[in-house]
Amino acid sequence: MNTNVLQTPIAYLKGVGPNRAETLKTELGIHTYQDLINLFPNRYIDKTQYYKINQLQRNSADVQVIGKITHIKSVAQKKGQRLVARFVDETGEMELVWFRGQKWIRENLKLNTPYVIFGKTNWYSGIFSMPHPEMELLSEHQGGLKVSMQPVYPSTEKLGNTGITNRTTNKLIQQLFMETKGRFSETLSPSLLKELNLISKSEAMFNIHFPKSQELLAKSQYRLKFEELFYIQLQLIAKNAQHKQKIKGFTFDQVGTRFNEFYSEYLPFELTNAQKRVIKEIRADLGSNAQMNRLLQGDVGSGKTIVALMTMLLAIDNGYQACLMAPTEILANQHYIGIKELLKDMGINIALLTGSVKKSARNIIHEQLENGELHIIIGTHALLEDKVQYKNLGLAIIDEQHRFGVAQRSKLWHKNNIPPHILVMTATPIPRTLAMSLYGDLDISVIDELPPGRKPIKTVHRFDSNRLKVFQFVRDEIKKGRQVYVVYPLIQESEAMDYKDLMDGYESIARDFPLPDYQISIVHGQMKPADKDYEMERFVKGETQIMVATTVIEVGVNVPNASVMIIESAERFGLSQLHQLRGRVGRGADQSFCILMTSHKLSADSKTRLETMVATNDGFEIAEVDLKLRGPGDLMGTQQSGVLNLKIADIIKDNDLLKMARHYAQKFLKEDPYLSQNPVIKHAYEQLVKHKNIWNYIS
């Protein structure tokens, strides 16, 4: 079909008009014919099939089941009562439930007589139940007409209130198919269709809206999902390639004395294979003449810092300066101390620049950066200030990406005419393919191996009522010379309350762990940076045994002697945050522990989170669960990075398809960078770029 027809404003479609057009626009973002045709059903009501009870899935789908009611009873509940019927077929049993109209139902239902029931199933305390089912006697049902699968479209309350019901939407789409004759230009090449055994665009569009059968519906979904993911990947890969062509970087072609000297004389341990591989990947980037823009992912404790350090040495070897930016003062401080220690005999000039550096000292740093005396600068956001100018910044490293927005990242770029190479490090373990889709502009390296000799952290869940036992355990650990973190949640909305929780907690700990036997540090967001550092310092030096803190210590802090992490109100933390916090222990040779404290009141999601933490230490596994619980838009750090607004595919459930789409997109662009051999794909791609509003996936 002529693509121009699809650009027709929706108001022109018969049955729409200006008012409905406005509602469709504001409620569903539908401006044109094309937008409406790409409004895909959320689900389908399938009345072509009958399910057996043992085939039911925990997916809340609407299903049809044939069976009999064997008994029926009223069950008292908080308010009034509900009516519960036991419904059986030859494969099992389920419950039918009514909250309203119970009298009529009780009087009219026939026991032990075959019925066809229809409705949404819930899985509840070990049994499927169906609230307020549609019911029909099997004998009557068999006489009636069989309706096929009915699509259920996305809707909003306002749509419903203004008379655009599911049936209306359905009719509008029918109308659209009539006006356009339902012929859609093919958007995938013949070779792809053949190789992947995909149905045509027109057939897929028809069957996604008016499925003739389950099988055709599945094929349509498969094809359209593939198409969607394929073009996103094509766009990302093409952008990335353009970026590399356009943006020239400094070429670091020397692996020189600093790097080699450090490697052979000062490196305190053998690098893991993963660290070696990543350094190689980075070196390849730096040696090419394109700007590096790389994301380094590695679980907490996987040893990203040393990689950062060695990358900085490469910059220095080539006559450039390097900066390392951290999200908090504590962390910047720690990097500064650690890196200074590692480089102490090498005559490399390093400085620390944070908000709490005094003006006079700061001026000296500014000067030394400009005249090139300083080789490495480590700091916080303070590094982004306009006053900070470099002689020749060749490399910028950002630690713990999720605390920085994309805008801040790009600010670093503009410190030079030629942008410095950028390395972004994060411990948020985003599954690789998802990361590739979210951070399309970044190349990705992964450290997927922990340094040897780490004992897995033992994680347990304890209720507040067991606090005395937990404290006894803590005393025993401290007796062995270990140190302990106690972390309280800090959630912006209720900062005052959180602060009170923290202080109450601190007092109670101070009572149970009295002076002079025990020394306690406390760190929270309302303290002055200097006080924070002081308290942190005492803990790092082992002068205090207990560190009471809010989540300020979440990121990066490294105290190998700390072996117990107690997380208070653990049910209030997200999974990736819990994992980050846990990563503060398990850094030394001793067995470490993480204790998740909660009250007895737990939601289903909190329970899943706690169980996951107890079950695994693997950040990627945890990220998968996190994704399932929250969806990708919520993943830490992904909010700012371009939200994927998919029409049909699901980035988690369709992960395999995503990988496949990426594979083919790569293959196409590699063999045919300008798509000149693939006119169909070229055309579809250009349309997509041109009508940004249609497939505006990438912000």
Residues binding ligand ADP (CB under 6 A) = 269, 271-272, 275, 298, 300-306, 427, 451, 556, 558, 560, 587
Cα separation, 406 vs 422, whole angstroms: 12
Nearest distance, CB of residue 301 and Mg ion, angstroms: 8
Residue closest to ligand ADP (Cβ): 303
CA distance 171 to 461: 53
The 3-state DSSP class for residue 365 equals helix
The entry of Mg ion, ligand ADP, none that residue 680 binds, CB within 5 to 8 Å by partner kind: none
CA distance 195 to 189: 10
303 binds, among ligand ADP, Mg ion, none (CB under 5 to 8 A by kind): ligand ADP
Q: Whats the size of the chain, residue-wise?
A: 699
Q: CB-wise, 247 or 271, nearer to ligand ADP?
A: 271
Contact of 66 with 114, CB cutoff 8 Å = yes
Site residues for Mg ion per CB under 5 A: 556
Complex with Mg ion: residue 425 or 575, whichever CB lies closer: 425
What's the rounded Cα separation, in Å, for the pair 3 and 691? 11
For the CB of residue 537, give the shortest distance to ligand ADP in the complex, in Å. Answer: 17
Which does residue 269 bind out of ligand ADP, Mg ion, none, counting CB within 5 to 8 angstroms by kind? Answer: ligand ADP
Please report how the helices 329-342 and 529-540 are oriented relative to each other, as an axis angle in degrees rounded to 10.
Answer: 50
Q: Residue 70's closest CA among 126, 135, 115?
A: 115
Indicate which of Mg ion, ligand ADP, none lies near residue 587 (CB less than 5 to 8 Å, by partner kind). Answer: ligand ADP
Q: Determine the residue with CB nearest Mg ion.
A: 556
466, with CB counted inside 10 A (0-12, 13-18, 19+), is middle
Nearer to ligand ADP, 421 or 587 (CB): 587
Pick 188 or 427: Cβ nearer ligand ADP: 427
Contacted by 301, from Mg ion, ligand ADP, none: CB < 5 to 8 Å by type:
ligand ADP
CB of 305 to Mg ion, least distance (A): 5
| Residue 580: both structure tokens together | 């980050």
H or E, element range at 447: strand 443-447
Residue 180's binding partner among Mg ion, ligand ADP, none (Cβ under 5 to 8 angstroms by kind) is none
CB 152 within 8 A of CB 211: no
Least separation in angstroms between residue 120's CB and ligand ADP is 45
Instruction: Decide which of Mg ion, ligand ADP, none touches 451; Cβ closer than 5 to 8 Å per partner kind.
Output: ligand ADP
Number of Cβ within a 10 Å radius of residue 505: 18
Closest distance of CB 343 from Mg ion, Å: 17
Question: Please, are residues 636 and 428 in contact by the beta-carbon 8 Å criterion?
Answer: yes
Judged by beta carbon, residue 208 or residue 636, the one nearer ligand ADP is: 636
Task: Mention every residue, 6+ apart, whose C-beta is less than 8 A from residue 560.
Answer: 587, 588
Q: Which CB sits closer to ligand ADP, 446 or 522?
A: 446
* 272 interface partner picked from Mg ion, ligand ADP, none, CB below 5 to 8 A per type: ligand ADP
Report in angstroms how near the CB of residue 502 gets to Mg ion at its nearest: 24
Closest CB to ligand ADP among residues 170, 616: 616
**d(Cα 562, Cα 431) in Å, to the nearest integer?**
29
Q: Which helix (H) or strand (E) holds 468?
A: helix 467-479
Least CB distance to Mg ion at residue 324 (A):
11
